[in-house]
Amino acid sequence: MDLMAEVVSARSIMEKVEGRDDGNNSVIDLTMTLVDKKGKKRIRVMRSYSRDQGADEFGTMYFLKPADVKDTAFLNQSYGDKKKGDEQYLYLPALHKVKRIAGSDKTDSFMGSDLTYADMGHIDLDDFSFEILKEVYVRDEHVWVIRALPIDDSTINETGYIESIFFVQKNNYVVVRAIRKLKGGKKIKYTDVKALEKIDGIWTPTETHIFMKKGKKVVHQTILKNTSVKYNQEIDADLFKVNSFYRGL
């Protein structure tokens, strides 16, 4: 296969990944389990809302339990107009304060999890080069294995990744696994979608494990499980504005 043809093919696959129907006006209840290197667990309960407005995508998340994170809220505003960029905000109820997440902070951990603020947003495909490495099977499903490399240091600094390997399921364009090398080269982040269900016609990951390894040791793990997923709900657009944080759910 011609190298250029392979790159174009990989890019087209990733365009379908980004463009696939992932539902609109959704309300999702989920649990986040944080597991440290000693196996100690902390469980958090959240409710997530999403809304698409043309090429713009908005998502907000409220922490419901336990008491120490209750009413903490996160807002992500992704715009189709690249000139506007993405905006992210975190509401800290104890301080009654909204913090804007700066680009330099997007590699920080999201609420103590193995997700970063960069993970909570959307990637700009133009910031990466793509290559198909091979085709394999994951849980009996045929997938493409695609490597994504940042095109410059600014993308590395904002995402925190020097290389990403995506396992894209062929029949639905869902990324069911990912392997990401972190800047500095000492840690690797693994993501594995353990359960994938079709809900209201939408392929939806319902259980995802994210774990960080240093060498051969797992140093931390995050388990996300959806307990209720509803699409095409009536959601007030004001919920995706910063001022809504002060009112709560």
Q: What is the pLDDT of residue 3?
A: 44
Whether residue 249 is contained in a domain is answered as no
Domain contains 147? yes
Query: What is the number of structural domains in the chain?
Result: 1
User: What CATH number did the domain enclosing 15 receive?
Assistant: 2.50.20.10
88 in a domain, yes or no?
A: no
Q: 15: which DSSP letter?
A: H
Please give the single-letter amino acid code of residue 65. K
Name residue, tokens 């410059």: 152
Per 3-state DSSP, what percentage of the chain is helix, strand, and coil (rounded to 5)?
Answer: 15, 50, 30
Question: Does residue 158 fall inside a structural domain?
Answer: yes
Query: How confident is the prediction along the chain (249 residues), in pLDDT tens digits per residue?
Result: 444 444 448 999 999 999 898 888 999 999 999 999 999 999 999 999 999 887 889 999 999 999 999 999 999 998 877 777 789 999 999 999 999 999 889 999 999 999 999 999 888 899 999 999 999 999 999 999 999 999 999 999 999 999 999 999 999 999 999 999 999 878 999 999 999 999 999 999 999 999 999 999 999 999 999 999 999 999 988 999 998 888 776
Determine the pLDDT at residue 30: 97
Instruction: Give the pLDDT score at 23.
Output: 85
What lies within 8 Å, CB to CB, of 84 at 6+ separation is none
Full-model pTM? 0.91
Residue 29 tokens, joined: 């209840």
Tell me if 240 is assigned to some domain.
no
Amino acid type, 247: R
Taking Cα atoms as reference points, which of 46, 18, 21 lies closest to residue 32? 46
Q: What is the pLDDT of residues 41-89, one digit of tens each?
A: 999 999 999 998 878 899 999 999 999 999 999 999 988 777 777 899 9
Q: Which domain holds residue 9?
A: 3-21+29-44+106-231
**Nearest 5°: phi and psi at 126?**
-70, -10
Task: Find out whether 102 and 131 touch, Cβ atoms under 8 Å.
Answer: no
Domain-embedded: residue 236:
no
Residue 159 neighbours by CB under 8 Å, 6+ apart: 106, 107, 116, 118, 123, 150
In a domain, 16, yes or no: yes
Asked if residue 94 is part of any domain, the answer here is no
Hey, which residues does 165 pair with through a beta bridge? 147, 179
